[in-house]
Amino acid sequence: MAVAIITGSGGLVGSEAARHFAARGMDVVGVDNDMRRHFFGAEASTQWQRRQLETELGRRYRHADIDIRSASAIDALFARYAGATALVVHAAAQPSHDWAAQEPATDFAINAGGTLNLLEATRRHAGDSVFIFCSTNKVYGDRPNHLPLVETETRWTVDPAHGCAQGIDETMSIDQCTHSVFGASKVAADVMVQEYGRYFGLKTGVFRGGCLTGPNHSGAALHGFLAYLMKCAVIGQPYTVLGYKGKQVRDNIHSRDLLAAFQAFVDAPRAGEVYNMGGGVYANCSMIEAIRLCEAIAGRPMQWSYESKNRVGDHIWYVSDLRKFQTHYPGWQPRMDIEATLREIHAAMRERHAKEQAA
């Protein structure tokens, strides 16, 4: 039986990947040691998701409580499944700008060092497998902020005459700009994944995600934009908007749409390829627009406030240009828009909150 090794299996993308590939007949080995709890506190723990995977997938799912910073532990895991591993989905990461600045060494060890450990184990024990890496749009640093931006009533946008009006493509430079510590560690990992494809010939794909979202997200204040925003709407918790008048724009891709893109790459893999991946022009919103949607869906006003100081290296406007991926894989397109995604998150949040209150 073909095996998929999925890191960060308790997180949004990892759990979606576990379900997706198990449904397609693969045995899944989930690697997750609940570091999200360490990063963001008990409310962000992924243990609930692990329990759901073990219940739903049964024998199709085996959990490995391993820290990806341990090269020996990762190598031993891959050696155990040598000859059977057909796919590696690397979704584990330290994902926060702000947290990375508190512990740069930990951030780099996880994001860069952990990725190298997985690449080496793949090269040694699963050289024919497909390796998918969840990178980030933060590899472009604050360079998108130098685009010709236009302010409207509820959002920033890009001058429609500019070449990036349909989104930012993969040719934008990642050099000589402010990335945040998190962005820098992901650059290192991103380039290394490319190199293992280009230099060693592994079938590696780098997916530079915008905002990845969906009902499986354990959203927290420092990470998980739409999920955390809707959580605040559901439980009445205050939310703080940081900078740019609340008009900063992000594209958001539902985790199921992302997994459909992963499947397309698995079916026809390439070596060392890079794709910007998000909701694109189809699914994006500003903070103000997202708050208004959450209020409408939740049926009540949110308690939110504004601080004028933005996060270092944060984007004013970021929308992914999806055309390169769609040229390589013309059968794929995002299907979930912002409102549909938020309605699904709202339903899941209400159900989860009700269970927590009853416990």
Q: Which domains does the chain have, with CATH numbers?
A: 3-358 (3.40.50.720)
- Report whether pLDDT(227) > 70: yes
Helix axes 47-57, 12-23, angle to 10 degrees: 0
Q: Report the pLDDT averaged over residues 303-317.
A: 90
For residue 288 the two structure tokens come to 């103000």
Per the CB < 8 A criterion, the answer to whether 22 and 52 are in contact is no
What contacts 254, CB < 8 A, 6 or more positions away?
Answer: 213, 214, 279, 283, 334, 335, 336, 341, 344
pLDDT digit string, tens, across residues 246-294 = 999 999 999 999 999 999 999 999 999 999 999 999 999 999 999 999 9
* Amino acid at site 222: L
Q: Taking the CB of residue 58, how many other CB atoms lie within 10 A of it?
A: 9
For residue 220, name the pLDDT band (cuts at 50, 70, 90). low
How far apart are the C-alpha atoms of 3 and 344, rounded to whole Å?
30
Query: What average pLDDT does the segment 166-177 reach?
Result: 97
Task: Dig out the tokens for 86 from the structure.
Answer: 């057909």
Is pTM beyond 0.75? Reply is yes
Contact 217, 285 (CB under 8 A): no
